[in-house]
Structure 1
Amino acid sequence: MLNRLVAVLFFSALMLIPGVAQSTEDSQSLFESGKAALESGRTDDAAAIFSRLIEANPQAAAFYYRGLAYSAAGRDTLALQDFDRAVSMEPDQAIYHMGKGISQIRTANYQDAIKSFSRVLELDPENVQVFSLRAKALFHQGQSVHAMEDLTQGIRRNPNNAALYKLRGDILSSAGEYDSAVQDYDVAIRLKPNDPAAHNNRGIALANLGKVKEAVEDLNRAMDIASSTPAQVRVPGISGNPW
């Protein structure tokens, strides 16, 4: 199975990138085989198939999908190289910049990631998810205020996105603003009741407010949902880094 971010990129690409341009029937069939391998989690097979396509006829779509395969396999440096190649070939394709930005985050190139996500918004202003991604890069660059602004913008555009409230709560909690953090976690949990990280992080914020009983209830709820311990569930942000 694909991890969440790779899955988002994959299924977005299905709508935006139907296949390789000027392809033969055989190459289009091979392209579809590569996508099927990627979707089923056979990342090595997918990378090999897209490599064959690239060798025969290098096109941006093939580099992009091979980048997804590398990303799903945790080979982020190779993924970044492929996304960068796709961007250089088709610079107006927002999804390519998004893949590049995610790989830049994973390789700790946060300043470059900010530029990539800003370009996504220029090309696709309605892309709400990119606000949370750029916020992550901004936070890692020490720009917490701008990260908060991005998350707030995302919330205005999509007020039912639990992840945005949860991430904003993480930043507030890491800054010691526990009351405000709890308010955001409350909304996140109302929208997505079975998110163990939101329960866990709200519990930590409540504990810092001295509300021990409520904190324990949240931490226990997180354990029940995740069948784990708070240490395993906790997003490592409450001590300073919400991602």
Structure 2
Amino acid sequence: MTRHRGLAALALAALLPLAACQSAGDAVDSLAQIDTAQGSAENIGSLTAVIERTPNDPDAYNVRGAAYGRAGRYREALKDFDQAIALDPNSHQAYANRALIHRYMGDQGKALADYNRAIQLNPRYDTAYIGRGELYRQAGRTDEAFRDFEQAIQLDTTDPRAYHRRGLLYQASGQHQFALEDFAMAISLAPGAPYGYNGRGLSYLALGDEENAFSDFNTAIRLDESVAESWANQALVFERRGEIDRAARSYARALQLDPEYVPAREGVARTRGSA
């Protein structure tokens, strides 16, 4: 149901006068979409009680592993996913979950092997294609990333990450009209998340549509005031309009939220003394 549009030549320099504010999107990752498991101590305790009652249930380890992952307890998550796989070597969900933990821990080789295994076990598992595609995207393997996001979309995924990430690839190659379509789809699937709005806003800005870009960045902030990227993007519009004092305040807010966010740091340096 999706039109195929290859990335031909990725002209990464095509984007930006908009500086380095491209949407990273990493925060929209999830542990194989296991929504029932949260990372609270209470939930982990409840899941541990389930495992004590049914120690040979691979699903119980898989769900607790996801909870550990959400809590940032990655080594414990790995142990649970290892156990889930030992109990059920054909669990494609456990392989995909473990792959994401390997990604978070910086072991990209093991992550790739687990995504490959998940896809081998279930070639229609959209989550694994999306995870592997993001692994490829971050490694600069853009053609392979595009194919994986495209495959997930052709499988009729309802996961907004597939559209958001493919939109980032279109955006990076200067194909902003295609990017706008993908970001719009990501927004329709996850209207409460800021990332689609940030991505779409940057493509609007690249096309000279400052009004719609500003509206998207403000919506992103309204949805979640804790995302540094949204404030830096808003500041970028203020800066382009010559409203340097307002830009300085928004850049400062972005830097406060994420002291390592380079566009915020560079924006503060450019507008210093105006806030």
TM-score using structure 1 length: 0.73
Query: What letter matches 2:235 in structure 1?
Result: G
1:49-85: CA deviation from partner (whole Å, max 9, x where unpaired): 5446656763223322321220121222321221011
How far apart in 1 are the matches of 2:266 and 2:195? 13
The reply on whether 1:117 has 2:140 as its aligned counterpart is: no
How far is the alpha carbon of 1:151 from its aligned partner? 0.8
The reply on whether 1:99 has 2:131 as its aligned counterpart is: yes
Q: How does 1:157-168 map to 2 (within 5 A)?
A: 157-168=189-200
Identity %: 22
Structure 1, unaligned stretches of length 5 or more? 16-23, 237-243
Work out whether residues 251 and 265 of structure 2, in 8 Å CA contact, stay in contact via their aligned partners in 1: no
Describe the SS at the equivalent of 1:210.
coil
How far is the alpha carbon of 1:27 from its aligned partner? 6.0
How far is the alpha carbon of 1:45 from its aligned partner? 4.6
Structure 2 partner of 1:21: none
The reply on whether 1:62 has 2:84 as its aligned counterpart is: no
Describe the SS at the equivalent of 1:26.
coil
The counterpart of 2:56, out of the listed 13, 18, 26, is: 26
How far is the alpha carbon of 1:213 from its aligned partner? 3.0
Structure 1 partner of 2:177: 145
How far apart in 2 are the matches of 1:69 and 1:160? 25
Cα distance change of structure 1 residues 79 and 195 upon mapping to structure 2, 3 Å threshold: same
The counterpart of 1:9, out of the listed 31, 36, 47, is: 31
Cα distance change of structure 1 residues 175 and 128 upon mapping to structure 2, 3 Å threshold: same
How far is the alpha carbon of 1:91 from its aligned partner? 0.8
Q: Which has the higher helix share?
A: 1
Query: What letter matches 2:181 in structure 1?
Result: E
Structure 2, unaligned stretches of length 5 or more? 1-25, 37-53, 268-275
Cα RMSD for the two superposed structures: 3.4
How far apart in 1 are the matches of 2:66 and 2:225? 33
How far apart in 1 are the matches of 2:84 and 2:122? 17
Structure 1 partner of 2:72: 41
